[in-house]
Chain A
Amino acid sequence: MAAANAVIRVEGLERVYATGKTEVRALQGVDLVVQPGEMVAIMGASGSGKSTLMNILGCLDRPTAGSYQLDGVRVDGLNRNELADIRNAKLGFVFQGFNLLARTSALENVELPLMYSRRHKGVDTRAAAQASLERVGLAERLDHEPSELSGGQQQRVAIARALVTRPSLLLADEPTGNLDSHTSIEVLALFQELNDTGITMLVVTHEPDIALYTKRVVELRDGRVIRDEAVRDRRVAAEDLGAATPLALAS
């Protein structure tokens, strides 16, 4: 695979927080390359720098030093507006707390990124949102508001929202942190299914069990990569659920 095609290419990434007189060096030279179609778990204890790395990879923050190419485009050094456009065009986020807009239907929540899209002018945002919700198995829940949905369903809405702009990379930050174990596996099954269709995925987690469902584990400690290896006994969530069609089960 040609190097230029890497989804993420990070070299010598550093991030220093200046809090008063003391400096916190959250990242101290991280190198990472993620190829298309990969499913990578970023692991580490709290304070290891994984959240900082996640923020920079998600274009929510800028590195103090080092370079970051996302989908072949240099994104370190972009300004706030350019980063917002990159997030909209190339990234999809799935958060631990779902982060859906309250009192807003599933459909409108999924529509949201398209509303801010500069590439999707004139696109039928409603139809696109609906297709995305169908993809995660929520075709029957279009008009439900977050408060009317279970945790697993809310996370599916969030995943549909992340997918609706057809991003190059899906970033999931502790996606199963607020879910029970059964629902967690359902969500992971969805992730694996999406990954099988070619979507590149980065899952930040502190649970080794969750990392077993990915293809590669990158572990951080004190702002450095201490482990980067393929998952040997990769688990298949659909099998763990004991059902041939996990989506039917979930919906």
Chain B
Amino acid sequence: MNGTRLVKIATQSIVKNKMRTLLTMLGIIIGVGAVIVMVAIGQGAKAQIQARIDNLGTNLVVITQGASQTGGVSQGAGTSNRLTLADFDALKRESTIFTGVSPVIVAPTQIVGGAGNWRTSVNGVSLDYQSIRAWPVASGRYFDDTDVRAMRKVAVIGKTIADNLFAGQDAVGQQIRLRDVPFDIIGVLTPKGQTAEGRDQDDVILSPYTTVQTRLSGRQFITQILGATASKGDIPAAEQEARGILRESHKLASYEADDFTVRDQTELAQAAQGTTQVMTILLAAIASVSLLVGGIGIMNIMLVSVTERTREIGIRMAVGARGSDVLTQFLVEAIVMSVVGGVIGVGVGFAGSLIVQRVTGWGTAIAPQMVLLAIGFSAAVGIFFGFYPARKAAALDPIEALRYE
């Protein structure tokens, strides 16, 4: 008995019993098709989730003042205040990686206006701040270049302040007094909610950094500089670049340590990564279940088929087929059907993904390695679930099998 003859016998049997073959393959077709569609949807969903997480600012680099040392004892972050607007200008001018840079000058201020008074921090920021934080206004407008250059006394207020001082009325166009200086409210920000630490992000007033520095802070130093990159992958390079620009700006000798700190939003990035991982595991789980169901479908049909084909097996044995020949025939049949079913399933999955893409508008992606994996897996399913029925067929007694009606 040689291999090619066995494959010939198996393929003949498959082709001659189209209905049985189709029923057997159906499980695998649906299984593999489901896997492909599922993964394609998953890729789309993953990209969507990624985009939303990126909106939270995972591409963010935060530069803060460094730690000062007093006689070798570090005083902790922020104790050395050497971050200035000159640093911001240098970064803005020289950086090639950052898509946006903004200073943040935090000035805790007592404010009066509308229904009463409130204490909050006024943040002096640049135009880029809005895109860096992905933080649009709900009503009114954000300040523009002219406002910054003219140091206009304009304010964009967070939702918490709008709710507390101007409940039930439109805050835009109203005036508030910051440290007795009147500011015009030109916009209200969309709500961002709380940070993980419980800080209310909406309890804030944004104003041009030029205005804040001259009117409220009065100091040369700034609290932090925010920079955004196009993607997460750019962050290490951007950090490197920022460090170089700032060291030069601070005229640090090579033996001197940084007098500033560059950090990224590792926690958010990890959260994003975690989400992606959960998605991947979820998809893999669903995919395995559908392939398992497909495999059991193959086994069921093969088992029924062994009973149905008892006489055929008897005939084959009578003319000299060994048990191992029958075993191999059934195994080859199972594998061929699984693989062919797998290939058809890939096609079905392809079509399904396109439909999903049309309906949801998500970008779906079919990875070539996914296709290979699906076909390889269906072959494995064929062997695994084909073995038991095949062994059952091989163990038949030829006399009993020939007598079977």
Chain A residues within CB distance 8 Å of chain B: 55, 58, 60-61, 80-81, 84-85, 87-89, 93, 95, 99-104, 108, 112-113, 115-118, 121, 161, 165
Interface string of B295-339 (1 = CB under 8 A from A): 000000000000000011011111111111100000000000000
B272 to chain A, nearest CB (A): 58
26 A-B residue pairs with Cβ-Cβ distance under 8 Å, sorted by A, are A80-B322, A81-B324, A84-B321, A85-B320, A87-B319, A87-B320, A88-B321, A89-B320, A93-B318, A95-B402, A99-B311, A99-B315, A99-B402, A101-B312, A101-B315, A103-B16, A104-B12, A104-B16, A113-B320, A115-B1, A115-B5, A115-B8, A116-B321, A117-B1, A118-B1, A121-B2
Structural contact, A61 and B399, CB atoms closer than 8 A? yes
Please list the residues of chain B having a beta carbon within 8 angstroms of any beta carbon in chain A.
Answer: 1-2, 5, 8-9, 12, 16-17, 311-312, 314-325, 398-399, 402
Contact of B317 among A84, A104, A118 (CB under 8 A): A84
Residues of B within 8 A of A118 (CB): 1
Distance from A170 Cβ to chain B, minimum over Cβ atoms (Å): 13
A103 touches B17 (CB 8 A): yes
Q: Is the CB of B319 within 8 A of A113?
A: yes
Q: Cα distance A80–B315 when bound, in Å?
A: 15
Instruction: Contact check, A81 vs B399: say whether CB atoms are below 8 A apart.
Output: no
Residues of B within 8 A of A99 (CB): 311, 314-315, 318, 402
Candidate in A55, A80, A93, A116 with the most chain B CB atoms within 10 angstroms: A116
**In the complex, which residues of chain B have a beta carbon less than 8 angstroms from the beta carbon of A89?**
320
Instruction: Point out the residues of chain B lying under 8 angstroms from A58, CB to CB.
Output: 318
Q: How far is the CA of A3 from the CA of B402 in the complex (A)?
A: 33
For A117, what are the chain B residues with a Cβ–Cβ distance below 8 Å? Answer: 1, 320
CB-based contact B398/A116 at 8 Å:
no
* Distance of A61 Cα from B311 Cα, bound (Å): 17
- Give Cα distance in the complex from A16 to B325, angstroms: 29
Give the distance to chain B from A123, nearest Cβ to Cβ, in Å.
11
Counting from the closest, the 8 A-B pairs by CB-CB distance are: A88-B320, A113-B319, A103-B16, A116-B320, A84-B322, A116-B321, A87-B320, A115-B5
CA distance A116 to B318 in the complex (A): 11
| CA distance in complex: A220, B399 (Å) | 20
B405 to chain A: closest residue by CB: A97
User: Do A116 and B319 touch across chains, with their CB atoms under 8 A apart?
Assistant: yes
Q: Bound state CA distance, A112 and B313, in angstroms? A: 12
